[in-house]
Amino acid sequence: MSAKPGDREVRREIYIEAEIVDADPVPGGVFRLAERGGMQIEGRFVEVVPYSKVVYTWGGIVGVEPGQSTVEFLLEPRDNGTLVRLRHYNLPALSVDAHDQEWALGGLPKLKAVAEGRDPGGLCLSSQGR
């Protein structure tokens, strides 16, 4: 996580998997991840550059209104693989720690598992392996 005066943000790597996925990856297209009867994340795609960058608004969980914050993924060729960078910004101050923890405990291990060809072990909306 990195912080700038007046603008706290989370920088992490993440993998997304959910029971319900609704995504139209074009600027203005819908971005929605949900668990049946559970949490839901909603937003809109802002920018999509194939194989290098995806930016979308994010919200609906942990004190963030749908579309309130922004997630940016950058993909960079690195040695024999790809470096995935996540920048999550415009989070309310009270939500930064919870998002940081969920990215670290849920997203990063799942991203690593998928990159290694393994089952990520659960849904993205929780750090719990279910």
Residue 127, in any domain of the structure: no
Is residue 123 in a domain?
no
Percentage of the chain modeled with pLDDT above 70: 73
Q: Tell me the percentage of the chain whose pLDDT exceeds 90.
A: 22
Q: How far apart, in whole angstroms, are the C-alpha atoms of residue 33 and residue 20?
A: 6
Domain span holding position 18: 2-115
Looking at per-residue pLDDT, the higher value among 91 and 5 belongs to 91
**Within a domain: residue 101?**
yes
Given a cut of 70, is residue 63 above it in pLDDT? yes
Q: For residue 77, which phi and psi values (nearest 5 degrees)?
A: -60, 135
* Residue 88: CATH number of its domain: 3.30.530.20
Distances, alpha carbon 34 to alpha carbons 26, 94, 117, in Å: 20, 22, 24
Best mean pLDDT range from 1-15, 65-79, 102-116: 65-79
Could you count the other beta carbons within 10 Å of the beta carbon of residue 107? 22
- Among 30-39, 69-78, 86-95, 105-114, the range scoring the smallest mean pLDDT is 105-114
In a domain, 110, yes or no: yes
Number of domain units in the chain: 1
